[in-house]
Amino acid sequence: MITVVAGPCGAGKTTWILQELAQMPMPAVYIALGADTVPIDATRVTARFPQVEIFHHRPEKELLQRLAAEVPIYFELGFQLETDVPLLEARPHRRVALVAEENRDAGWQLWADEVICGNHSTLDLQAAQLWRAPLTGQVFDPPSLDEMLIELTGGAYGNVHRVKGIFELPDGRAFHVDFVKGLPGIEYTELNLPHWRSGRPDRFSGIEVVGWNLEQETIAQTVRDGCLSDGAIAHYQEQYKALISDEINPEESVLA
């Protein structure tokens, strides 16, 4: 079964797919169209469900093989993309739209087989800007990351409707960060990934910002300014390694 999930920016599409995947004892396929270079949602899915296959640039024949094997396939459409996917035109599929009551119109009702209540979106699609940046290898200390995100979501660099990203911390943990205008606060969720405590992380991290009148160059510079240097990363990692060593061997620590 193919399920295509669409909806306004920040409606909760990935969260709904994660809920669906949690009820499946079998493998599945996840495809986020339009996010190949900054796969924030795909990273979030993989961290929670390692058995789910992520398709970005795989040949179409592999997807058809999964379909023939009755593997569930989820297509997530970015808000900026057309809802009709050429690959699916001749194949049966289920269309799900996540839309708040305030955002429903005849277009969503006509397109979707099922309309589910999602988060309200105040984004003006005509004026919407999308800014993305990969951050692989970059590490942020928590106070600097908090300050950057508070400034960004508070309107310091334009009218921000949505911020999401994967960020690495110096203690080795990776977090998914999510902000949607109109919802309370900034949500931080630790990803179920191994703690990276040796040099710069060699796994994906990145940020996506959606809004209007965005000062994109200033945002990019602010993000760069928040990244730790090699020396700072090494210093933090040595501290955490020493702390872990003390916790494992408390007697040796006292004797030392």
Per residue in 119-157, pLDDT (tens digit) is 999 888 888 999 999 999 999 999 999 999 999 999 999
Q: 23 φ, ψ to 5°?
A: -95, 5
Fold for 129-243, please state it: Hypothetical Protein Yjia; Chain: A;domain 2 (3.30.1220)
pLDDT band at 250 (very low <50, low <70, confident <90, very high): low
| For residue 254, pLDDT beyond 50 | no
| For residue 66, pLDDT beyond 70 | yes
Domain ranges in the chain are 2-116, 129-243
In the prediction, which pLDDT does 249 show?
63
Residues 41 and 79: their CA atoms lie apart, in Å, by 13
Fold for 2-116, please state it: Rossmann fold (3.40.50)
Q: What six digits make up the tokens of 23?
A: 């009820």
Confidence (pTM): 0.90
DSSP 185-200: S-EEEE-S-----SSS
DSSP E strand stretches across 7-151? 29-33, 53-54, 73-77, 94-98, 114-116, 129-134
In the prediction, which pLDDT does 241 show?
84
Question: Same topology for domains 2-116 and 129-243, yes or no?
Answer: no
In the prediction, which pLDDT does 60 show?
83
DSSP label at 4?
E
Residues 6 or more apart whose CB falls under 8 angstroms from that of 19 comprise none
Cα separations (Å) of 27 from 24, 30, 65, 66?
Answer: 8, 10, 13, 10
Residues 163 and 154: their CA atoms lie apart, in Å, by 11
pLDDT band at 169 (very low <50, low <70, confident <90, very high): very high
Q: Helix, strand, coil proportions of the chain in percent (round to 5)?
A: 35, 25, 40
